Amino acid sequence: MGYVMDEVLQRQPEDVRRFLLEASLLDSFSAPLCDTVTGGADSENMLRTLKVVANPFVIPLDHPLTWYRYEHLFADLLRHQLERTRAPAWVRRQRTTAIENNGQDAGH
């Protein structure tokens, strides 16, 4: 776990790191859903960036590349890190938001 966190996550700019962690609440994600969960408005550009910096870990689910998921082990590591660094109430609230906006089981 330490290697992935050190080599992939910790070397990213803060905005990319935050996005990776917060989007990990979602089993699959699109730019609009990520905007909702992260509170941002630039998820489409962030997903384009991730295709370059975290390509082995971000898997497209459709064509024309609007839905993605993280590689399963990477998602688990991100969720673990998120739960270590964010208040449990925040994590629960964001998971609820994801479910309400997408009808999916966000996270585990």
CATH number reported for the structural domain that contains residue 16 in this entry: 1.10.10.10
- Say if pTM beats, i.e. exceeds, 0.85: no
The share of the chain scoring above pLDDT 90, in percent, equals 30
Partners of residue 69 on adjacent β-strands: 59
Total domains, the chain: 1
Structural domain contains residue 108: no
Structural domain contains residue 107: no
Task: Give the mean model confidence (pLDDT) for residues 95-101.
Answer: 77
Can you give the residue range of the structural domain that contains 44? Answer: 2-102
Q: Judging by beta carbons within 10 Å of its beta carbon (0-12, 13-18, 19+), is residue 66 exposed, middle or buried?
A: middle
Give the model confidence (pLDDT) of 57-71 as tens digits: 889 898 888 899 999
Structural domain contains residue 58: yes
Structural domain contains residue 93: yes
d(CA 85, CA 108): 17
Structural domain contains residue 40: yes
Residue type at 5? Answer: M
Residue type at 81? Answer: Q
Structural domain contains residue 80: yes
Q: Judging by beta carbons within 10 Å of its beta carbon (0-12, 13-18, 19+), is residue 78 exposed, middle or buried?
A: buried
